Amino acid sequence: MVRTKYSVISMSFLKDAKQHKLLIISAVLTGWAFQYILNAVHDDVPVLSFFALVGRALSVVWHDWSSHRWVYHVVLVIIFWIYGVVTGWLIAEFHPPVPRAAITAVVISLAAYNGFFLLQLAIDPNAFSRVLILWAAVRSAANITGIFLGGRLVTRRLLVKMTPTTVA
């Protein structure tokens, strides 16, 4: 049952990708552009202000939160998840004929890139500690699930718009 479900999904994706090649290429380029822009922006002001906001909120309920280094990584995972949701939403919004195939193509390209990047870090003997590689993997997974969620929100809305309603 599960095997046929995934084969139907993959065949549907391949059929849509074959019929709408330019839209899929446009979606992948749009996704990469948004990811680049959002990742370039997060290095400066927004992350620091988000850290300050989260720090103030955490200080109310947990006074020693800053002594735990993992909190910073969790905040970064949340930020990358939000970036993913925004990216998925924008891709599905700008590519309405095939939003599912567009989202799937972007996720496949980002997963391949992140997979090769993490593999390179894991193989390199001079790389950071394995814990940081784990956090990078979690951050990448959060980004990809965010892209799926953002695209799913738009896809569901588009399907509701296109579904004819019958009035009795």
pLDDT tens digits, one per residue of 48-92: 666 667 767 777 777 666 666 677 777 778 878 888 888 888 888
Q: pLDDT under 70 in the chain at which residues?
A: 1-3, 5-6, 9, 41-52, 55, 63-69, 126-132, 157-168
Three-state DSSP at 127 gives coil
pLDDT at position 161: 62
d(CA 79, CA 85): 10
Q: Are 132 and 117 in contact (CB under 8 A)?
A: no
Distance CA 122, CA 126 (A): 10
Give rounded-to-5 percent helix, strand, coil for the chain.
85, 0, 15
CA–CA distance, 151 with 99 (Å, rounded to integer): 7
pTM over 0.85: no
Residue type (1 letter), 97: P
Please state, as a whole number, how many other Cβ atoms lie within 10 Å of the Cβ of residue 68: 12
pLDDT for the residue numbered 35: 82
What confidence score (pLDDT) does residue 97 get?
Answer: 76
Question: What pLDDT is stored for residue 3 in this prediction?
Answer: 67
